[in-house]
A = this chain, B = another copy of it.
Amino acid sequence: MSLDAKRVRNLREKVCRANLELVAKGLVIETFGNVSGIDRELGVVAIKPSGVDYDDLEPSTIVLVDLEGKRVSGDLAPSSDTPTHARLYREFPEIGGVVHTHSRCATAWAQARRALPCLGTTHADYFRGTVPCTAVMSDAQIGRDYEEETAVQIVDAFRRLDYREMPAVLVACHGPFTWGKDATEAVYHAVMLEYAAELASLAVGINPRIGPAKRALVDRHYLRKHGSGAYYGQGRA
């Protein structure tokens, strides 16, 4: 087996595991949701096939596409959301994995068309501030390449935001996308986003007028886990 073949196999295995982890974490209902991962040197994206039962998922069913979303290997059609994933890889050059779910509370915020405010430290540990919600798409966009336009809306919401410090977005009337350094981390962020969204749903029920946590607290918690001054966990380089 060539070196490249081994790398492709590893990528498929990792993306397959990450898709199954999404199910194990309770973020998937029926066949909704998909995870992809990229090998940037090879220019290859591995992604879940469209509408396939998670029970039937194994590394060989994972589809390979290029950075334009065109299938380069695999018998099955890739996820119908592939153009969104591909565009995000092109726009956000440092990400290695992308996740899309219809998870309960994050989707509810997307349907409510409200950005998810950072109300506390659970949120701030992973997302440095308010998780943005995209604008509703115009009819013209919907009529064009709808899935790619979804990525356009996302990128538009990040004009003044650093995607490396905010690995999540809510697509209005649709649901969340998250990303990370690889597929595994993107799934982890999807889990934390869902939990932050659940806490925030409960909190606005308790106190509808609550505003976001103060900037200093958000930064303190975010930087406890991220960046050169991080001191959470068992040591970092």
* Residues of A participating in the B interface, judged by any CB pair closer than 8 Å: 29-30, 32, 49-52, 76-77, 80, 102, 104-105, 107-114, 119-122, 136-137, 139, 142-143, 146, 173-175, 188, 191-192, 195, 198-207, 210, 213-214, 216-217, 220, 224, 231-235
What B residues does A231 contact at CB under 8 A? Answer: 80
A172 to chain B, nearest CB (A): 8
The chain B residue sitting closest to A77, CB to CB, is B234
Q: In the complex the two chains form, what is the Cα distance from A104 to B105 in whole Å?
A: 13
Contact: A114 with B206, CB < 8 Å? yes
Contact: B210 with A112, CB < 8 Å? yes
Q: In the complex the two chains form, what is the Cα distance from A113 to B211 in whole Å?
A: 10
Contact: A202 with B201, CB < 8 Å? yes
What B residues does A146 contact at CB under 8 A? Answer: 220
The chain B residue sitting closest to A75, CB to CB, is B234
**Which of B142, B210, B213, B224 makes the CB contact (< 8 A) with A216?**
B142
